[in-house]
């Protein structure tokens, strides 16, 4: 799925399971590797990390559709100015929040990138707060629905192919 505007883009896609063969652990057997390519005015980078469980991966498109429908509230920074995502997962590598919504229908999506998904100039920085590197992307409802559809197609391809090879 591609989340982009004129200034920044975040391209995320599930590409495979972490382990090629079933190991017999329903938890370990369900980690998906997510490939990401990020472009911002500060720089560009890519990552690949097993950071979403299959169930969590389904939440991504559901959240995008809820934003497009206007049912997700804007997440404000706390009193200390810290951002917390409203959609986060067990591995705190990628998370999402709604930064703003205009009357014209544009939603500002925050993609929170931490740890393995953080930009190279922040990786290994013990002082970097989790969820605080954010890429903001303004998109209208149609673009959000398209991104959700892209995510679902990519996810279905990974799950379908992997399930066939796991039988």
Q: Which residues pair with 32 in a beta bridge?
A: 17, 52
Give residue-wise pLDDT tens across range 21-74.
777 777 778 899 999 999 999 999 999 999 999 999 999 999 999 999 999 999
Q: Which residues pair with 109 in a beta bridge?
A: 98, 137
Nearest to 158 by CA among 34, 71, 8, 56: 34
Q: Where are the domains of the chain?
A: 2-166
Give residue-wise pLDDT tens across range 65-108.
999 999 999 999 889 888 889 999 999 999 999 999 988 889 99
Give the pLDDT score at 167: 39
According to CATH, the topology of domain 2-166 is Transcriptional Co-activator pc4; Chain A (2.30.31)
* Per-residue confidence band for 166, with pLDDT thresholds at 50, 70 and 90: very low
Helix and strand numbers (H, E) in the chain are: 2, 7
For the segment 142-156, the average pLDDT, to the nearest whole number, is 97
């Amino acid at each position: 799925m591609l989340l982009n505007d004129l200034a920044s883009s975040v391209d995320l896609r599930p590409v495979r399971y972490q382990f090629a063969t079933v190991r017999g652990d329903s938890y370990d057997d369900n980690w998906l590797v997510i490939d990401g390519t990020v472009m911002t005015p500060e720089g560009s980078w890519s990552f690949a990390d097993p950071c979403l469980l299959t169930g969590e991966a389904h939440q991504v498109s559901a959240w995008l559709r809820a934003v497009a429908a206007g049912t997700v509230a804007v997440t404000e920074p706390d009193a200390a100015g810290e951002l917390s995502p409203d959609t986060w997962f067990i591995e705190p590598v990628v998370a999402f929040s709604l930064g703003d919504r205009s009357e014209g229908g544009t939603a500002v999506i925050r993609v929170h990138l931490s740890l393995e998904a953080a930009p190279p100039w922040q990786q290994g920085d013990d002082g970097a707060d989790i969820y605080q590197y954010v890429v903001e992307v303004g998109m209208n409802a149609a673009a959000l629905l398209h991104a959700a559809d892209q995510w679902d197609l990519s996810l279905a391809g990974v799950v379908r192919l992997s399930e066939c090879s796991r039988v």
